[in-house]
Structures are given as C-alpha cells and as structure tokens.
Amino acid sequence: MNDSKKTVHATVLGYPRIGAGRELKRAVEAHWSGRLDEAGLEAAAAAIRSEMLDDLASAGMDSVPTGVFSLYDHVLDTAVAVDAIAPRHRRETELASYFAAARGDDTAAPLEMTKWFDTNYHYLVPEIGPDTAFHARPGKALAEYREARERGLDARPILLGPVSFLLLAKATGDAPSGFEPLDRIGELTAVYADLLSALVEAGADRIQLDEPALCADRTEAELEAVKAAYEHLNGVAELLVTGGYGPLGESLPVLVEAGVPGIALDLVRGRVDIDVLESLDVSRETFVSAGVVDGRNIWRTDLLAAAADLERLHRVTDRLGVSSSCSLLHVPVDLDAETELPASLKERLAFARQKLREIASLAEAGAPRLQRPAAPDDWRDETVRSRLAALPEDADRRVDYAERVAAQGELPTLPTTTIGSFPQTAELRKARAAHRRGLMIDADYHARMRAEIAAVIAEQEKLGIDVLVHGEPERNDMVQYFAEQLTGFATTAAGWVQSYGSRCVRPPILYADVARTGPMTAEWTSYAQSLTDKPVKGMLTGPVTILAWSFVRDDQPLADTADQVALALRDEVADLESAGTAIIQVDEPALRELMPLRRDGRGAYKAWATRAFRIATSGVRPETQIHTHLCYSEFGDVIDAIADLDADVTSIEASRSKMEVLADLDRADHRRGQDQSSARKLRQVGPGVWDIHSPRVPSAEEMAASLRLAVAAVDPKRIWVNPDCGLKTRRYEEVRPALANMVEAARTVRGELA
Ligand code: GLN
Ligand code: ZN
C-alpha cells in the first residue's frame, strides 16, 4: 500500500432500517391501527433515517448509502419507483396504495410474499405483465439522497437493479402463457435511465444498483439482458453494481464487458470472484468494493485475512473500496445493547454498528490488523465429537420402509392430524413472559401449560381427529425454544432483524459445540398422551431449520454443526420414544431456504442436510413413525432431498396450489424408481387441505374436493389429511369450524373409497 493516509474508500452496501429500538415496527403498526396518521408515520420514519445517517457518518464512512430505508420492503419500493403497482392496489394516496399492496385489504389480496434468496428475509413479489406501464417515480430516492446531502455527506443512492427486479417478479395472472417479466427489460431499462438522470441532476455522482439475482446461475439470454441493460445505463450515471449473495461468477465478465465502472464483490461467500477478476482485462480505473465484512452473520471479521484480500485487489485496481459483503439488513443494529452475553462470546461478535468500525479501520492505513482468535477450548465438547465420529456414514434407519409400515400402528384410511401448534393466545404469551421474567413460579407456569394442553387435547378429541398434538403452548418460537435448552447457543436481548414488513425476529447465536443437557419436550408430550387413547405426535424442529434461523458459527463447515444439532435431537427422539410416543414429527420448513443458489453446491448440501435429519430420526424402532413437515409446495430442486429424509410421513403445503404438487410427487417417484442408486421415495404424504395463512374457513365440500384430487393422484393408503401449516397464528373461531370441516371431508371421502 502507498503511504497516503487513506488508500481505500470505506463504505457499506446497506444498513438495518428498522431503528435501533424497532421504532419502525411501532410506527407502522400504530398507523395500520389508525393511531398514527400519515404525517406522524413520516415523522417516525424521518427519525429512523436520521439515526441511520448518524451511525454511518460517525463511523467514518467515506460515502453513505441512501434510499436504504423502507416502510415495508425494498422490492415494493422499487415497484413504486417504476410505477408498477397493480391496479387492484391503487388507492387515494400513495401510502395507502403501498400498504394495500403489502398487506391487502377488504377488496384486494396482497402481493405474494416469498424468501429473499437464501435468507430468512421475505420480499413482496411484484406482478408484471406485458402491459404494465412503467414510469419513473424518483420521489423517495431523491428525498433520501437530499437528506444525506443536506448533512454534507457524500451520498450514494441505492436502487434494486432492473434485471433482479424483473427476475424477482412474477407474471400477472392474465399474462399470455410464455410471457416472462424479463421480456420487459428494454422498457424498464429506459425508465431506470430516467430514475438515474433525476438523481444525477440532483448531484449524485455514483449510484448503486443491486443485482443479487446475478449470484444465482443465469442463462445466456439472461446474461444478454444484463449486458444490454448495463451498456445503456452506464451512459447515464457512474454505477456501482453489487451482487452480495455469493460469487457473481459468470456475470462478472459480463459486467466488466458492459463497461460497468464500479463492482462490489461478496468476499465472504464469493472469494472465487477475485480469481475471476484477476483473469479479466479490468481497467485500473474500475472501482472495486471488497465486501470483506460479513453482512449475513455477526462474527467479527478476521482483519488480517481481509487485509490480505485487499492487498490482492490493489494489484488489479487503483480505486479500491472496503465494504460489507451485502447490505447489513440481515444483522442486528448494536452489540452494545447486549449486556447478558458471556464475555468470551461478546468479544468475538460485531453487529451493524461494530461492522462499520471494522470497515473504517480496514480503510485506515496503519490501523492494527488482528487475526481473529480461535474459539476457546471450553467451546469444544469431546463427547459429542466422538459420538458423531462413531455414527455410520449413511445414518439410515435400520429397517426398510415396507417393514416399518407393517409394524406401525393401525389408523383409519385418510388419517387426520394437524401440524403441531394450536392458537397462541395473548394470555399464553403473557404467561410465558411472566415466567421468563421470574414473575410466575415454575409450579404455576407448569399448571398453566398443562391446563392449555388438556384443553387442546379435549378440542381434538371432540373434533374426532385421529393423531393428536399437544399444541406447543410452551414454545415462543420453534427454533428459540430449543436454542434456549441446548448448550452452544446464546440468545440476545435485542438482536432483532427484519423478517418482513414490521415483523422482526431475534435469531439465537450458535457459537460452540451443541449438546443436550436433558429432555426438552418429552414432559409436555407425555402429559398430553396421558390424557387420551389416541396417539399424540411429538414435535421437534429439525437440524437444518435450527441452523437456518440462527446465526451460526463460521469456524467449521455447516455440515459439522448440523450433525451436532442432529445428535442432540436424536437423544430427544429416543426419550420421546421411551416415554411411549409412537409418532414423532421433525419439522424442516427451512430445507429449501438453505439450498445453495448455484447448482454446483446443491449436491453436497442435500447430502449433509438430509443426513443430519436421518441422524436425528434413525435411532428409533421400526414401530415408531417419523413425520416431517415442509411449509411450501414448489418442490423443484428439493424433491429428491425430501425423499432422502426417509420420513414415513411428509406433510406439505398444497391448498393454494390446488394439489398440483401431487403430480410432482408422482413424477419424482417414477424418476427415483428407475434410479437404482436410491431406493428412497416419498412415503405417505399429507398435502395441506386448508390454507392457514388466510382467516378464511374452507367448507367441508371444498376440502373433500381437494382430497378427491389427492386420492386420484396417489394411492389413498399414502394420503394423510391435515392443514398446510401450524395453527399458532389463527384464532379458535377459525380453527374449530375449519378442523371440523376437515374431519367431515375426510369421512366423506373415506366413505366414497369404501
Ligand atoms: N410444528 C410447527 C407448528 O405447527 C411447524 C411450524 C412451521 O412449519 N413453520 O407451528
Ligand atoms: Zn409449516
């Protein structure tokens, strides 16, 4: 490095936008309930933005991102910026339209919501048709840019790029078949040129366009679209294009060829991009933002390793930046708010504010570059490690499905069940909170939970359900509940990150070797079983889902960490079994979420993810029936992995897709039948017949119609009857009639089969 004081430009690709104290949540929820008017909401939003700018400016960033704030979701903001709001969501004011699109109302269903790449953030899916009339609406981008400029900051507006916007969108319902949103890239690029011009006119000398979709495999045609769009937009503004979710890979040469003057690399998960860049003929004038600080996780950066990457990039360019790997949207705001974390853990962590300081110090020539210290010895658990080493490679159940199914208890054809949770009432939440804060003694708390379990069992018996659940009243969250009881996990006091809109989650931190210190669920399940002659299903959260919804140590492969969690669950499964639980469900709703964005990583992922599930579940006797649950119906690439879980019963979401999923299952079965290398298949399936995401109560006839489709597509002996997902967010007023209708539907179709 040369000897001028600063050789590297310090910046960050985005910042948490919920406020350090979740002010966004409070403000928007007050607005929705009518307690805060538009002006009040705008004032609260301005205060959050002001705090963000304070953080960025005081940490010594050379330039600060603007346009990062959002009242709900940045993809929806982009739809507004290009005027792609569906006619059904247009209301009196822009704000009312915005929330109609986000949340729906009496007259219009909201936009669909889905996961943002391989994260637990959810975005709203724009609907684009051949006739969507794009126009530039730069108001928000301009206002937020000016706010930063008025403070004398070097501001860099951020927009979601046009290619990713269209790739994240879906076609409107009335679009002709074969139409894809990306068909509109030409017109949309022209509108982006207008947006960029407006920002340039206001003084912006660099604009960041986020193209996270370029971190997944892209077709030739898509890469052509990237090239054409960026050749066009380059002429309008000085651009910085980011990926942020892994290597840009084959998109990187395309961006270079298109002459993009600034590129941000994710050097946490996409370090191979340095090699690609070195092999390309890149102008030394290209601005390269080195994303060495992890935007997805909360561990302190290894500054020594980061400095080495910066050194390498210095040989490629004269204009080097240091930054986060992606927006800091996915990490909590401030580690200083955590006063209860063990010191040896806390000193290894960095939340958003601490990450800014790391970036600033990496940009500072002469600042110390410390290597990250190794984990302390007492974070290791040799017992866990040697037990895992002794497990068989395949971790399969000892007995084949055919033999298992013969040994498992008799149930009626089309057995009815639920996914696990029953409504979480305000009263239950209050009891859990009081117990946590020490305001309710253990004995009272247990009595309260037992009373709830007894009520839930009575409800199900009255409804005539075949396989019962205890209702999960003791669980605040399906991951945190286990994290609180396992070693190797810590939970935060205020480590909130946005999940969607006003909803935030507090992921636990998995920092050390994981072990179980005692039974976690058996007490509640056994109590429930003691109240009924019907089988009660035990409920656990699977290893992949526990990892996906936590901040996980990054000093060993995820596969190794998954195995440790799986081993703890295996012990829990054994306890449930010996306490007399004949059916055990291990939920893996995040199996698809952790799937690598690029094809070449998927085989290895599926192998370790499914093995971890089998470690958790394969220790049981043949008589014990293993269930799993997945919260989606687009199986695509995961269907083989689902079969490799080797569960006896799999419940899936299907009601919204009208059971189309069954045809997929059938195809997959046939494919696997020919594949001699694998004998595993999806066994019994419970395609959800009730969409629990909606307050609507489906009629018995409607659910019977779904079941008829199911028994027509798949051997009726393989079909279970259940809702799409757990009932915790529903009210008893909906749950009672809907479950009664579900049971009636099962009886009707049973009768027709007989
Ligand atoms: N057993 C959990 C429940 O019913 C499953 C939740 C989920 O799949 N997200 O709540
Ligand atoms: Zn679910």
Q: Would you tell me how many other CB atoms lie within 10 Å of the CB of residue 251?
A: 26
Pocket test for ligand 1, best of 505, 585, 629 (most atoms within 8 A of CB): 629
Answer whether residue 1 is part of any domain: no
Do residues 532 and 457 share a domain?
Answer: yes
Answer whether residue 388 is part of any domain: no
Q: Which ligand is nearest to the CA of 470?
A: 1
Do residues 348 and 422 share a domain?
Answer: no
CA atoms within 13 A on the CB side of 268: 24
Q: List, in sequence order, the alpha helices (H) in 408-517.
A: 426-436, 442-463, 480-483
Pocket test for ligand 1, best of 476, 505, 725 (most atoms within 8 A of CB): 725
For residue 730, how far is its CA from the centre of ligand 2 (angstroms)?
Answer: 13
Answer whether residue 600 is part of any domain: yes
Beta-carbon contacts of 155 under 8 Å, excluding residues fewer than 6 positions away, are 63, 64, 65, 66, 145, 148, 149, 204
Total domains in the chain come to: 2
CA dist 729 and 676 (Å) reads 43
For residue 225, how far is its CA from the centre of ligand 1 (angstroms)?
Answer: 40
Could you tell me the mean pLDDT of each successive run of 10 residues in the chain, 754 residues long?
A: 61 98 97 97 98 96 97 98 97 96 91 93 97 98 98 97 98 95 98 98 98 98 98 96 98 97 98 96 95 98 96 95 98 97 96 98 88 91 97 90 93 98 95 95 97 98 98 96 98 96 96 97 97 98 98 97 98 97 97 94 96 98 97 78 94 83 73 55 91 91 96 93 96 97 98 95
CA dist 499 and 400 (Å) reads 40
CB-proximal residues (5 Å) to ion ligand 2: 589, 631, 725
Phi, psi values for residue 559, rounded to 5° = -60, -40
Answer whether residue 668 is part of any domain: yes
For residue 702, how far is its CA from the centre of ligand 2 (angstroms)?
Answer: 21
Answer whether residue 120 is part of any domain: yes
Answer whether residue 728 is part of any domain: yes
Q: Which of 272, 236, 292 minimizes the C-alpha distance to 13?
A: 292
For residue 22, how far is its CA from the centre of ligand 2 (angstroms)?
Answer: 26
Q: State pTM to two decimals.
A: 0.95
CA dist 687 and 516 (Å) reads 33
Continuous segment of H or E residues that includes residue 568: helix 558-578
> How far lies 467's CA from each of 150, 334, 528, 532, 537, in Å?
63, 45, 12, 11, 7
* Domain-ending residue, one of 346, 365, 384: 365
What is the residue with the minimal CA distance to atom 6 of ligand 1?
A: 726
What is the residue with the minimal CA distance to atom 3 of ligand 1?
A: 726
Q: Which ligand is nearest to the CA of 548?
A: 1
* Domain-ending residue, one of 328, 348, 365: 365
Q: Check if the beta carbon of residue 63 is closer than 8 Å to that of residue 155.
A: yes
CATH code of the domain in which 642 resides: 3.20.20.210
Do residues 722 and 640 share a domain?
Answer: yes
CA-CA-CA-CA torsion sign (473, 478, 480, 481): positive
> How far lies 229's CA from each of 134, 186, 193, 734, in Å?
15, 7, 10, 49
Full residue range of the structural domain in which residue 733 is found:
415-753
* pLDDT score recorded for residue 674: 56
For residue 605, how far is its CA from the centre of ligand 1 (angstroms)?
Answer: 23
Both tokens of 178, joined, read: 């074969």
> How far lies 44's CA from each of 39, 580, 662, in Å?
9, 54, 48
For residue 729, how far is its CA from the centre of ligand 1 (angstroms)?
Answer: 10
Do residues 13 and 139 share a domain?
Answer: yes
Do residues 435 and 355 share a domain?
Answer: no
Minimum-distance ligand 1 atom for the alpha carbon of 589: 8
Do residues 357 and 442 share a domain?
Answer: no
Do residues 335 and 448 share a domain?
Answer: no
* Domain-ending residue, one of 365, 391, 423: 365
Answer whether residue 404 is part of any domain: no
Both tokens of 571, joined, read: 């012990």
Q: Which of 110, 512, 480 minimizes the C-alpha distance to 348?
A: 512
Minimum-distance ligand 1 atom for the alpha carbon of 541: 1
Give Cα 114 distance to the centre of its chain.
9
Do residues 42 and 163 share a domain?
Answer: yes
Residues enclosing ligand 1, CB less than 6 A? 419-421, 472, 478, 539, 587, 589, 629, 631, 725-726, 728
Q: Which amino acid is at 626?
A: I
Answer whether residue 112 is part of any domain: yes
Q: Check if the beta carbon of residue 45 is closer than 8 Å to that of residue 69.
A: yes
What is the residue with the minimal CA distance to atom 9 of ligand 1?
A: 589
Minimum-distance ligand 1 atom for the alpha carbon of 539: 1
Do residues 343 and 435 share a domain?
Answer: no
> How far lies 563's CA from each of 392, 397, 437, 542, 678, in Å?
12, 16, 33, 11, 22
Do residues 352 and 449 share a domain?
Answer: no
**What is the 8-class DSSP label of residue 370?**
P
Could you list the active site residues?
Answer: 693
Give me the residues paired with residue 471 across strands: 421
Q: Check if the beta carbon of residue 611 is closer than 8 Å to that of residue 395.
A: yes
Do you know the residue count of the chain? 754
**Which value, to the nearest 10 degrees, does the dihedral of the CA atoms of residues 494, 572, 513, 356 take?**
-20
Do residues 356 and 458 share a domain?
Answer: no
What is the residue with the minimal CA distance to atom 4 of ligand 1?
A: 726
Give the CA radius of gyration of the chain: 27
* pLDDT score recorded for residue 675: 53
Do residues 419 and 512 share a domain?
Answer: yes
CA dist 531 and 533 (Å) reads 7
CA-CA-CA-CA torsion sign (664, 669, 671, 675): positive
CA dist 631 and 653 (Å) reads 5
